[in-house]
């Protein structure tokens, strides 16, 4: 009897998966088409070397984009991610340079980035301030402190062991950081889909007051979203500095925009309550490969912004149009 | 007076292949109030939106004063003399009343700038005076500070100022108190005497009988009753036409089944001297027993919603205590209430009830998840709970993974009840249990509440509908200006007594 009812109200698991991830599938198709076109337009594009090249370029952005997605799902925004990456990376790297202690360097990076995220979260969750304003301010503060602390100098001369995450390869060919990115995506896909915290984030983004009146600790959950975003900035900083084995105060500058772009292209709604990290992963890849292709094809760098910007707008427009069609 | 103001012939409309209106015809005469009735999804909103150009009909033709028209948007409709006042007001919150009314009036503009605010306000004052409302609304007041009733009046005046010949009111009384409804109806009657025609879209049968000259009923997009004169139509037949089946005892038999379940000696919830931080409610004390349905009646703004929100911890309190089974509940804590198994179905379904974009399944299981200690989501448990609730409350769902916004108002309301029932509540607070719910679902919801009370749950109901309060409650508390003015047993209560205590009476 119960079985019978179940099928009445629910589609099969496969159909459900397709329905829930319709946006991601359409993005995946667009990505695949773009990939094929690019492979034919340049023989250099689809080579292991170039793929690795792109992957290394998107490695830190993928961390920021995960955090950005988590925050945007709560209908917030975190503009401070790029500057947070810069500041936490810089402080961590300076400690690393002074002490030559790899673990301490990484720990400091993560602590600073988490702290910045927690301050954001406190002000937004408990102080009820607009996320846009708080993180805009935090972005300025972090970037400025980044320059003050480093005195605008590049930190370098790290112990060789620090390059493990950025440069080491499994079996001499598969880079460790790609594994790390996959791991982080998997963890947070799981968090968003299968944990109570993840479900609450969607609930808060969809209707904060309804979430509060259902007994959800909205303040705490909101704060945690920014803490997550902060931690991931630290991971982003770690990947970036260990790949380049240096840290410049300009690192991460403007990266929040790429993170937002990847999130939005991946189908996450800026008004909250809707979006997945699978979509964001595709968004990160799309932005990364598009940038790369424009370089390979020798497009004037000044034109690249126009191309990326157009993709963002078209992606959101396509999503809107498909919604309107469904409604009618 | 008997000429046709609006005539719609053979209107057919389908959304993505699903027919919403099937060959429906409708007419409105000059100086007539014509009620358009039916359950949610019957097509009445669609019809009014087609008349005002928000939607385009697939087939059929609309005539205004005998001339065929094809409005492409509301602006063209207004120019053609047809205005619509929807439930979501189209007022600018930060603008004043007069600026809103004359927003598009060229007389007050010079080269695109507002030239004379004083003249605008004076004109507004005259307009208000015409309807004896000059003391009710200040032309300079910002719309954001107005009550729903005042906004409604402003919307209608806005329509009047554009010399509308026909005004469509979509659920005009949904959140008005009885007194405000009377005021609105007076306005309608005055305009009607001047030859303005009204189409009123509504569920509320008693009001329709008061104001409407004729009634048209739609069901599933079909015309069931076409412009029947109200006086010649019995309520019973009207309900039958709307629902398609006979509903004899909407509220159950008054007082009869109540008596069996109500445990007079077992107090479950006790409220002592409750005052909220804004002083919307002051020094409120009452108690609710096991299996009792306690109703709170009163005018809008009497502090009923604020009281229940304060009990639940959603509004902060200044003083007072709440006890559950003799144990004090931590103040200002929704979580403490949820832990102690107090449920709260809010008044405003859209804004603080449902998660519109989120699936039925996730909505139903939200409280269960919030109240529980589990860190991981238990898919099996959620599915089982969801299934059980859908069957128990007969919620009509096509697919539990569909977003909740796809459900009708009545089913959304049931879903909110379901969400709290999974908590296995001891006390259930329901603020306006049947607002914007069609009559079939209404009967279901009353039935559900009665069953819950029989199980021993103490229920607190806040309602603006007197028949509802009188029909389902055991005890009725009347509130006025933040205080309880009367505690009535349902046997001794009637509409006049409640009306008396909610306006002038000083009881208790």
Reduced DSSP (H G I as helix, E B as strand, rest coil) percent helix, strand, coil of chain A, to 5: 80, 0, 20
Q: What is the 3-state secondary structure (H, E, C) of B147-205?
A: CHHHHHHHHHHHHHHCCCCEEEEECCCCCCCHHHHHHHHHHHHHHHHCCCEEEEEECCH
Range of weakest confidence among A153-167, B193-207, B412-426: B193-207
Closest to B22 (Cα-Cα) out of B48, B52, B49, B59: B59
pLDDT of residue A2 exceeding 50, the answer is: no
Size of interface A-B (CB pairs under 8 A): 101
- CB contact at 8 A, B47 and B8: yes
Judging contacts by C-beta atoms under 8 Å, the chain A residues touching residue B399 are 9-11
Q: What are the DSSP calls for A30-68, one per residue?
A: HHHHHHHHHHHH-TTTTSHHHHHHHHHHHHHHHHHHHHH
Q: Mean pLDDT, chain B, as a whole number?
A: 87
**pLDDT band at residue B261, thresholds of 50, 70 and 90?**
low
CATH number for B317: 3.40.50.300
* Residue B347 within a domain: no
d(CA B411, CA B394): 9
**Domain endpoint, select from B393, B424, B455:** B424
The mean pLDDT of A171-185, rounded to a whole number, is: 92
B138 with B62, same domain?
A: yes
DSSP B93: T
* Residue B167 within a domain: yes
**pLDDT band at residue A121, thresholds of 50, 70 and 90?**
very high
The partner residue sitting opposite A196, judged by closest CB among B353, B375, B390, is B375
Residue B80: domain span:
4-243
B203 with B109, same domain?
A: yes
Using alpha carbons only, how large is chain B's radius of gyration in Å? Answer: 24
* Amino acid B399: pLDDT: 86
B361 with B332, same domain?
A: no
**Domain endpoint, select from B191, B223, B243:** B243
* Amino acid A44: pLDDT: 87
- CB contact at 8 A, B419 and B385: no
Range of weakest confidence among A320-324, B162-166, B415-419: A320-324
B416 with B445, same domain?
A: no
* Residue B346 within a domain: no
* Amino acid B63: pLDDT: 92
pLDDT of residue B508 exceeding 50, the answer is: no
> How many whole angstroms from its chain centre is CA B420?
21
> Which residues neighbour B53 within 8 Å (Cβ) at sequence distance 6 or greater?
B70, B71, B72, B73, B74, B76, B77
Q: Mean pLDDT, chain A, as a whole number?
A: 90
* Amino acid B506: pLDDT: 62
pLDDT of residue B98 exceeding 60, the answer is: yes
Backbone angles phi and psi of B217, in degrees to 5: -115, 130
| Look-up of token digits 């305009």 | B191
H-helix or E-strand spanning residue B32: none
Closest to B199 (Cα-Cα) out of B65, B54, B30: B30
| Look-up of token digits 């999804």 | B41
* Amino acid B160: pLDDT: 83
Q: Hey, which of A21-30, A108-117, B101-110 has the most confident mean pLDDT? A: A108-117
Q: What is the 3-state secondary structure (H, E, C) of B474-485?
A: CEEEEEECCEEE
* Amino acid B322: pLDDT: 95
Counting residues of chain B whose pLDDT is more than 90, the rounded percentage is 41
* Residue B63 within a domain: yes
Using alpha carbons only, how large is chain A's radius of gyration in Å? Answer: 20
Counting residues of chain A whose pLDDT is more than 90, the rounded percentage is 66
**B473 CA to chain A: closest CA distance, Å?**
25
* Residue A68 within a domain: yes
* Residue A131 within a domain: yes
* Residue A237 within a domain: yes
Q: How many domains does chain A have?
A: 1
d(CA B3, CA B15): 33
* Amino acid A5: pLDDT: 45
Number of neighbouring beta carbons within 10 Å of residue B128: 22
**A315 CA to chain B: closest CA distance, Å?**
20
The mean pLDDT of B328-355, rounded to a whole number, is: 92
Tell me how far CA of residue A184 lies from CA of A11, A229, A232, in angstroms. 30, 12, 9
Start-to-end CA span in chain A (Å): 36
pLDDT of residue B1 exceeding 50, the answer is: no
The mean pLDDT of B146-156, rounded to a whole number, is: 84
d(CA A228, CA A230): 5
**Domain endpoint, select from B424, B444, B469:** B424
Question: What burial letters (b/e) apply to B373-394, b meaning 16+ CB within 10 Å?
Answer: eeeebbeeebbebbbbbbeebe
Backbone angles phi and psi of A52, in degrees to 5: -60, -40
| Cβ-defined contact of B374 to A202 (cutoff 8 Å) | no
* Residue A209 within a domain: yes
Best B337, B339, B359, B370 residue to mutate vs chain A (most A CBs within 10 Å): B370
* Residue A170 within a domain: yes
* Residue B309 within a domain: yes
> Which residues neighbour A118 within 8 Å (Cβ) at sequence distance 6 or greater?
A223, A226, A227, A230
Q: Hey, which of A68-82, B196-210, B388-402, B444-458 has the most confident mean pLDDT? A: A68-82
**B275 CA to chain A: closest CA distance, Å?**
20
* Amino acid A7: pLDDT: 43
> Which residues neighbour B106 within 8 Å (Cβ) at sequence distance 6 or greater?
none
Looking at chain B, how many residues does it have?
508
Question: What burial letters (b/e) apply to A215-239, b meaning 16+ CB within 10 Å?
Answer: bbbbbebbbbbbbbbbbbbbbbbbb
The partner residue sitting opposite A215, judged by closest CB among B15, B335, B353, is B335
The mean pLDDT of B345-369, rounded to a whole number, is: 91
Paired residues of B27 in beta bridges: B7
d(CA B401, CA B388): 16
* Residue A118 within a domain: yes
Q: What are the DSSP calls for A200-239, one per residue?
A: HHHHHHH-HHHHHHTT--HHHHHHHHHHHHHHHHHHHHHH
- CB contact at 8 A, B273 and B285: yes
* Residue A309 within a domain: no
pLDDT of residue B363 exceeding 90, the answer is: yes
**Signed CA dihedral, A217, A218, A219, A220: sign only:** positive
pLDDT of residue A328 exceeding 50, the answer is: no
* Amino acid A6: pLDDT: 44
> Which residues neighbour B411 within 8 Å (Cβ) at sequence distance 6 or greater?
B395, B396, B397, B441
Closest to A172 (Cα-Cα) out of A60, A59, A47, A52: A52
Range of weakest confidence among A73-77, A111-115, B9-13: B9-13
B229 with B259, same domain?
A: no
* Amino acid A4: pLDDT: 43
The partner residue sitting opposite A10, judged by closest CB among B354, B384, B401, is B401
In chain A, whose CA is at the least distance from the CA of B313?
A213
**pLDDT band at residue A1, thresholds of 50, 70 and 90?**
very low
pLDDT of residue B405 exceeding 60, the answer is: yes
User: CA angle, corner B37, sides to B36 and B38, nearest 5?
Assistant: 140
**B331 CA to chain A: closest CA distance, Å?**
14
Six token digits for residue B295? 């109703």
B436 with B390, same domain?
A: no
- CB contact at 8 A, B201 and B171: yes
Report pLDDT digits (tens) over A56-67: 989 999 999 999
Report pLDDT digits (tens) over A234-283: 999 999 999 999 999 999 999 999 999 999 999 898 889 999 999 999 99
Q: Which residue has the higher pLDDT, B152 or A135?
A: A135
Six token digits for residue B12? 């057919």
The mean pLDDT of A157-175, rounded to a whole number, is: 89
pLDDT of residue B507 exceeding 70, the answer is: no
- CB contact at 8 A, B297 and B469: yes
d(CA B224, CA B39): 12
Closest to A30 (Cα-Cα) out of A250, A272, A314, A227: A314
Six token digits for residue B27? 């007419």
B438 with B463, same domain?
A: yes
**A10 CA to chain B: closest CA distance, Å?**
5
Give the three-class secondary structure for B280.
Answer: coil
pLDDT of residue B249 exceeding 70, the answer is: no
Tell me how far CA of residue A141 lies from CA of A71, A86, A181, A232, in angstroms. 20, 11, 28, 19
* Amino acid A3: pLDDT: 40
Six token digits for residue B270? 């006790």
| Cβ-defined contact of B314 to A2 (cutoff 8 Å) | no
pLDDT of residue B505 exceeding 70, the answer is: no
Report pLDDT digits (tens) over B26-52: 999 999 999 998 876 788 888 998 999
> Which residues neighbour B450 within 8 Å (Cβ) at sequence distance 6 or greater?
B252, B257, B293, B472
Six token digits for residue B260? 């069996």
* Amino acid B184: pLDDT: 86
Q: Hey, which of A300-304, B245-249, B333-337 has the most confident mean pLDDT? A: B333-337
The partner residue sitting opposite A215, judged by closest CB among B357, B371, B397, is B371
| Cβ-defined contact of B355 to A215 (cutoff 8 Å) | no
B371 with B337, same domain?
A: no
Widest CA span of chain B, in angstroms? 73
The mean pLDDT of B120-135, rounded to a whole number, is: 84
B430 with B487, same domain?
A: yes
B161 with B180, same domain?
A: yes
In chain A, whose CA is at the least distance from the CA of B398?
A9
Start-to-end CA span in chain B (Å): 52
* Residue A88 within a domain: yes
In chain B, whose CA is at the least distance from the CA of A207?
B355
Residue A70: domain span:
59-253+269-276
* Residue B348 within a domain: no
Q: How many domains does chain B have?
A: 3
């Amino acid at each position: 009897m119960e079985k019978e009812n179940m099928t009445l109200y629910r589609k099969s698991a496969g159909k459900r998966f397709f329905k829930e991830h319709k946006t991601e599938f359409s993005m995946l198709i667009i990505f695949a088409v773009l990939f094929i076109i690019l492979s034919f337009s340049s023989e250099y594009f689809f080579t292991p070397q170039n793929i690795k090249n792109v992957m290394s370029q998107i490695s830190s952005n993928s961390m920021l984009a995960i955090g950005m997605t988590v925050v945007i799902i709560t209908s917030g925004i975190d503009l401070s991610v790029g500057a947070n990456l810069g500041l936490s990376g810089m402080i961590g790297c300076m400690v690393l340079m002074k002490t030559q202690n790899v673990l301490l360097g990484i720990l400091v990076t993560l602590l600073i980035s988490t702290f910045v995220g927690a301050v954001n979260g406190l002000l937004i969750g408990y102080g009820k301030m607009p996320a846009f304003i708080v993180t805009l301010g935090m972005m300025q503060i972090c970037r400025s402190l980044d320059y003050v602390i480093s005195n605008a100098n590049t930190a370098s001369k790290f112990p060789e062991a620090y390059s493990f995450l950025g440069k080491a390869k499994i079996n001499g060919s598969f880079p460790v950081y790609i594994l790390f990115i996959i791991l982080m995506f998997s963890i947070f896909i799981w968090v968003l889909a299968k944990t109570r915290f993840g479900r609450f984030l969607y609930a808060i983004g969809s209707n904060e007051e309804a979430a509060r009146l259902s007994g959800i600790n909205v303040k705490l959950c909101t704060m945690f979203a920014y803490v997550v975003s902060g931690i991931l900035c630290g991971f982003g900083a770690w990947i970036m500095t260990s790949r380049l084995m240096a840290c410049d105060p300009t690192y991460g500058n403007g990266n929040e925009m790429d993170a937002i772009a990847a999130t939005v292209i991946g189908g996450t709604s800026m008004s909250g309550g809707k979006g997945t990290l699978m979509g964001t992963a595709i968004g990160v890849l799309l932005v990364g490969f598009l940038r790369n292709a424009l370089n390979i094809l020798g497009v004037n760098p000044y034109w690249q912004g126009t191309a990326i910007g157009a993709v963002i707008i078209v992606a959101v427009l396509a999503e809107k149009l498909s919604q309107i069609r469904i409604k009618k | 007076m008997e000429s046709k103001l609006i005539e719609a012939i053979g209107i057919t409309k389908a959304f993505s292949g699903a027919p919403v209106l099937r060959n429906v015809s409708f007419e409105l005469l000059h100086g007539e109030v014509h009620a358009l009735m039916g359950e949610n999804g019957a097509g009445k909103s669609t019809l009014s939106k087609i008349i005002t150009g928000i939607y385009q009909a697939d087939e059929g033709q609309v005539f205004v004063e005998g001339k065929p028209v094809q409005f492409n948007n509301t602006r063209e409709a207004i120019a053609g003399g047809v205005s619509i006042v929807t439930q979501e007001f189209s007022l600018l919150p930060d603008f004043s009343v007069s600026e809103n009314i004359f927003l598009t009036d060229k007389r007050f503009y010079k080269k695109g700038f507002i030239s004379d605010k004083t003249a605008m306000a004076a004109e507004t004052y005259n307009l208000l005076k015409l309807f004896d409302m000059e003391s009710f609304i200040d032309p300079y007041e910002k719309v954001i500070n107005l009550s729903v009733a005042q906004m409604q009046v402003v919307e209608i005046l806005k329509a009047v100022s554009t010399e509308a010949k026909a005004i469509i009111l979509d659920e005009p009384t949904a959140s008005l108190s009885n007194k405000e409804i009377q005021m609105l109806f007076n306005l309608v009657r005055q305009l009607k005497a001047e030859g303005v025609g009204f189409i009123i879209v509504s569920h509320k049968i008693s009001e329709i009988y008061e104001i409407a000259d004729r009634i048209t009923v739609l069901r599933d997009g079909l015309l069931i009753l076409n412009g029947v004169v109200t006086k010649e139509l019995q309520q019973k037949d009207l309900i039958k036409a709307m629902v398609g089946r006979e509903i004899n005892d909407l509220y159950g038999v008054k007082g009869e089944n109540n008596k069996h379940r109500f445990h007079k000696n077992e107090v479950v919830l006790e409220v002592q001297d409750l005052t909220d931080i804004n002083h919307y409610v002051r020094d409120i004390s009452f108690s609710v027993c096991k299996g009792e349905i306690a109703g709170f009646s009163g005018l809008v703004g009497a502090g009923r919603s604020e009281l229940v929100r304060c009990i639940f911890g959603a509004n902060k309190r200044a003083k007072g205590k709440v006890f559950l089974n003799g144990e004090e509940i931590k103040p200002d804590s929704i979580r403490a209430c949820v832990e102690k198994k107090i449920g709260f179905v809010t008044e405003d379904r859209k804004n603080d009830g449902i998660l519109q974009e989120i699936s039925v399944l996730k909505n139903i299981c939200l409280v269960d998840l919030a109240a529980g200690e589990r860190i991981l989501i238990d898919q099996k448990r959620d599915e089982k709970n969801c299934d059980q609730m859908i069957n128990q409350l007969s919620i009509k769902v096509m697919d539990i993974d569909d977003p909740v916004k796809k459900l009708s108002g009545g089913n959304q309301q049931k879903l909110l009840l379901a969400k709290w029932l999974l908590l296995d509540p001891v006390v259930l607070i329901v603020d306006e249990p049947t607002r914007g719910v069609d009559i079939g679902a209404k009967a279901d919801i009353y039935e559900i509440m009665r069953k819950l009370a029989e199980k021993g749950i103490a229920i607190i109901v806040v309602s603006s509908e007197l028949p509802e309060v009188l029909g389902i409650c055991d005890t009725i508390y009347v509130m006025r200006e933040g205080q309880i003015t009367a505690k009535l047993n349902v046997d001794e209560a009637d509409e006049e007594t409640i009306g008396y205590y909610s306006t002038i009476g000083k009881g208790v």
